[in-house]
Structure 1
Amino acid sequence: MRSPTRPATSAATSCELDGMLLADYPGPEAQIFYAGQAAPLFFCDTVELVNTLLRPEQVRKMVAVYVQDMGQADWERPRGDWIDAQTALYVLGSKRHGSMGPT
């Protein structure tokens, strides 16, 4: 299956869970493409993404999940640099904060 195109965020892109504008906050962001949806749902940090993925009521088929490669992106203003969330490496215990604190 071909992965969907990873769209860029804009000043108006908001978080699916709380409506926060992604452009207003530092740190890694994430997106999920669900089957049957043309556009992804965005998340303002990786903690929100992981919490969404682990919810037991999550029954929609996911086509792709992306996070930002923070080795490439600017932490204060991350734009683009999307990578497959399944192949990304995650750091636990960093002192860097994202939109909701530790991420």
Structure 2
Amino acid sequence: MMFARSSLALLTALVLTGCASEASTPDAPDPITLTAEAAGHYCQMTILEHDGPKAQMYLAGYEHPLWFSQVRDGLAYIKSPEQEAKILVTYVNDMSKAKNWSEPGVDNWIRADEAYFVVHSDAIGGMGAPELVPFSSEADAIAFAKNRGGMVKRLGDISAETVLAPVDAHEGDHQ
């Protein structure tokens, strides 16, 4: 009986520890300022040349973040079945604090796992694909969705298909 109780206590502690580590990563680096030297992970183009929100991601064992020209690309990296690296943290521009679509900001980052994303709106990202628009404020996300279409989702509710599906070549024609 004593063994069963101590096993149950150990199991409970392990489960709670696992949940805590998923909720916050204490060794996750802070976001850095977006500079003119930042190049997109997939396109190797200068990030600042593209409109719309961006993403930066830290991988275990790497000092510098991967940069993504649009949020969709960063989420595609996360959701890709081939992705094997340990992701420490992903940051996205907080469009609640952005000046406008052309100037989403260089220091207004929020953790992707804390953002409210507007999915399936008419917003087109910097690489010409439909964008998933991140906000720190749920109210701002809802207002954006009412104005531009789409629905509000959290990161865990965004399917891989949403960010990995092919993009219609004419989809970017209606920004």
Q: Report what 1:20 is aligned to.
A: 45
> What's the offset of the Cα at 1:20?
1.7
1:40 corresponds to 2:65: yes
For the 8 Å contact 1:25–1:77, the answer to whether it is kept is: no
Q: Report what 1:77 is aligned to.
A: 103
> What's the offset of the Cα at 1:55?
1.1
> What's the offset of the Cα at 1:37?
0.7
TM-score, with structure 1 as normaliser: 0.91
2:118 to 68, 91, 98: 91
Gapped regions of structure 1 (runs ≥ 5): none
Which has the greater radius of gyration? 2
> What's the offset of the Cα at 1:6?
0.8
CA RMSD of aligned residues (A): 1.2
> What's the offset of the Cα at 1:5?
2.0
Gapped regions of structure 2 (runs ≥ 5): 1-25, 132-175
SS at 1:23's partner residue? helix
Larger proportion of helix: 2
Sequence identity (%): 32
Counterparts of 1:18 and 1:24 in 2: how far apart (Å)?
Answer: 12
Which sits farther off after the overlay, 30-39 or 2-11?
2-11
Counterparts of 1:88 and 1:57 in 2: how far apart (Å)?
Answer: 24
- Give the letter for the 2:102 counterpart: E
For the 8 Å contact 1:26–1:76, the answer to whether it is kept is: yes
> What's the offset of the Cα at 1:54?
1.2
Larger proportion of strand: 1
Structure 1 segments, 4+ long, off by >6 Å, are none
Aligned length: 103
